[in-house]
Amino acid sequence: MRICVVSYHSSPLTPVGSGKSGGMSIVIRSLYERLARVSEVDIFVRGEGRTREISPRLRLVQVQEDDTGRFAEEIINRHDVGQYDLMHTHYWSSGIVGLHARRVMKIPWLHTMHTVEVLKTIRRDQTRIEIEEEIMRACDLVVSPTEQESLAIRALYPDVRVMTIPHGVDTRRFEPSRNGHKDILFVGRVDPIKGIHFLIDALRQVRGDVGLTLVGGPSKGAGNLAGIETYAAGVPVEFVGQVKHDELAQYYSNTAMLVVPSHYESFGLVGLEAMASGRPVVGFDHTGLKETVGDDAGILVKMGVRSLARAIETLSRKHELRHVMGSNGRKKAMAYDWTIIAQRYQRLYERVSKE
């Protein structure tokens, strides 16, 4: 099978955890590395106009073009030469490329939103909402990582075809270890949507000597990070900055729990990484964590500072509960190993390309 992947927003090879590069890069890298064992995969990104072989059968096609229409032309030219069986676009900007390509390329088109603008709880952009609707209606299938997101999309746009395949985790990179720690961990891009202010406020209310290790760089400029540093004055926070994904496992091992205070989280890969590492997860119950963490691999609460503080305090006091929830998390994470998730995509791609 020949698969055309569009990642216009960012290259999956850019280090993740700051700027524009986050969970989507990990998803694209992890998924297509595995699918390329049996298929030819071209990932289209913006860049210097060169094609790089990442591994056998997996290529990064760097298109020297910011205009989405002309970017799509490059895809169409390649399709003319070596016919793709399907196209999978990731994120709304790639979806715009998909809209252009679709006019000419009559192959199945799958789209993953990664963030659904209309479902965000803060900072919604009306133009983007309309474009995302157009993309969802034009593509053949939307692939969403959670049932709750699929249901929400179906409720808003009943004609759109959606199916759920969760994201995965590398259960060999993230492995359990003894949890005798007391400090808590945040991992993610420093962006208002990640709710770090909530976490700082919650920590002010937590009784006991609990410190926070904050891993991740700013998503846009350094302003957000500097703002958080000022806001956190007097609270024991260690700002580690961006950490290479390959070196992240030790941070999960050295923490009592992961806290994900996001206002909106379509899936929350960090939750799965903590689970695979045998660490409980604290977060909000309206986020994608509901389907991975559930009620036995951490504590998910209604959004609020007090509830967040209480959950952190409960888990930091109860070592045994941390242990039980951590090992539940590990067991559940095994079902999300990327090898299993990639097989589900393989079956889906085969089915869709025959339709």
Q: Would you tell me which residues interact with ligand UDP (CB under 6 A)?
A: 16-17, 22-24, 26, 187-189, 215-216, 242-243, 245, 248, 267-270, 273
Q: How far is the CB of 186 from ligand UDP (least distance, A)?
A: 9
Shortest CB 80 distance to ligand UDP, Å: 34
Identify which of residues 101 and 232 has a Cβ nearer to ligand UDP in the complex.
232
Nearer to ligand UDP among residue 61 and residue 243 (C-beta): 243
Q: For ligand UDP, which is the closer residue by CB, 98 or 216?
A: 216
Residue 17 or 108 with smaller CB distance to ligand UDP: 17
Quote the radius of gyration of the chain (alpha carbons, Å). Answer: 20
* Nearest distance, CB of residue 230 and ligand UDP, angstroms: 21
In sequence order, what DSSP letters do the residues of 257-276 get, joined into one string? Answer: EEEE--S--SS-HHHHHHHH
DSSP state of 108: -
User: Smallest gap, in angstroms, from Cβ of residue 269 to ligand UDP?
Assistant: 3
Look at residues 96, 94, 81 and name the one whose alpha carbon lies nearest to residue 7: 94
Supply 191's token pair.
């962006």
Shortest Cβ distance from residue 167 to ligand UDP (Å)? 7
Please say which residue, 67 or 125, places its beta carbon nearer to ligand UDP. Answer: 125
List of long-range contacts for 170-173, beta carbons under 8 Å, 24+ apart:
170/30, 170/276, 170/337, 170/338, 171/276, 171/333, 171/334, 171/336, 171/337, 173/246, 173/249
Q: How far apart are CA 25 and CA 192, in angstroms?
A: 20
Residue 354 CA to residue 351 CA, distance in Å, equals 5
For the range 300-306, what are the long-range contacts, defined as Cβ-Cβ under 8 Å and sequence gap of 24 or more? 303/198, 303/263, 305/198, 305/201, 305/202, 305/205, 306/202, 306/205
Residue nearer to ligand UDP on the CB measure, 26 or 58: 26
Q: Please, what is the minimum distance in Å from the beta carbon of residue 245 to ligand UDP?
A: 3
